Structure 1
Amino acid sequence: MNNDLPNAILELAPEGLAPRPDSQQERKSSETRETILEATLDCLANHGYAETTNNLICEIAKVSRGAMLHHYPTRQDLLVAVIDYAFYKHMTAFSQTVVRLRDEDRVGRNSAIGIDWQLCQSREFQAYLELRVASRTNSELRAIFLPRARHHDLVWKEELLKVFPEWRDDMRKLELTRRLTRAILEGLTMSRDLWKDPATEWILLAFTADMVRKIRVGELVFPSEESLEEFKKPAIVATRRPRATRAKAAPRTRKKAGI
């Protein structure tokens, strides 16, 4: 692990992984934890959340169940660690790659979008996405995943300001642009198996990069509150459900005696 990473990212590194402990015993424990987390990423990416069992993780990691429980006594402990670890790996790879770009590529071409797209195909991001999708219908996982993911979102924003300082003058513009970009990249990732069209993916990515450049320099602006309200009205009216009308009760007829 890189000891020169920004504090915001280092805070996400599971205990003992960054920086490496000095003592041999602590270093060995750290390596075992990382082995378990790497195996968990493999399980999630290749088998899905439902099939990611402790037994399968131990088999892939080649550690005993006792060793795994020593480091992660509960499934919740393991999930918290692997959620952070998956994001940690994605974020560090992104930051370390972007800072090496020439300004012509970083600012002019917005090549970071292509870099992020490549990283979205990584095992750690696939595992993270698997946890995100599974959390929609699994209340236990949802209670663990959402708070961590929201924290990661703040770290992502902080890191973007470090590698793209030119956005600091308009934080609202940065917030809207980064959310739009994430939605596009994650949507493309989710649709990749359906479309099977890499050429179109890169066309859309290049278009997104140019759109982000235009937003940054003011050639493209987000809608005002007034225009937004006008935009929303037809959609709200068209999809509003009519009130349920109470059916009129049929007139009651008095039964004749003896019938």
Structure 2
Amino acid sequence: MELLHHSIQLSAGPGSAAAPTPTQPPSDGGTMSSELYLALCRGRKKEAMALLRQQHGGTAAAAANQVAGIHQVSAEGNSVLHLAAEHGHDKLIHDLASFGGRSLLSSRNSTLDTPLHCAARAGHGKAVSLLVQLSCEGGDESTLWCRNEAGNTALHLAARLGHAAAVEAMVSAAPGLASEVNNAGVSALYLAVMSRSVPAARSITTRCPNASAAGLSSQNALHAAVFQGSDELASLIT
């Protein structure tokens, strides 16, 4: 069961109408320089922003109108925002999102991960909260529903790994996310229980009245709680 849990290919069920089509947009910015890559991974905000502005050859305001450069990518197809999100550099995330606009928030890498996927997988709660906030500005939460190549929403990833703060940030903004299942028939609640994260499971059951409990092989989250031997988890579901 545990091995199956870690190898689940999470993917969309019926899907939400709000969910963008999971296709990888072409990169217009070319290959990222090693200097910029390292600055982003290490959270060197001033250096990263200076490199971007230098590459644009102008001020931040002028650079914002030159979309191509901000969409340069690493060898794995990660944008500048993917790298900042993966490493949890929330101040850098804020500046990059302001610099590049909304298109960066929904940008996809080679496996169709968005920056939110990267932050959720890594368990960077503050970065996830910021990306959720930026994604929902103007009343548009569509980025939260994006699915990667395997069909994972960012909520699936955070729940599977027991990242409670990330789960809380997402279900607070979009409770409907927890009603989604993937091609394997697995819900975020089931994954949270399998991860043995009581806080993550509690966030879903508290925030999401229509949360799915579906799991593998006709099982559900309650079966998983019993399998884990956790009365506390079981009590959240019953």
TM-score (norm 2): 0.34
Larger Rg: 1
More helix by share: 1
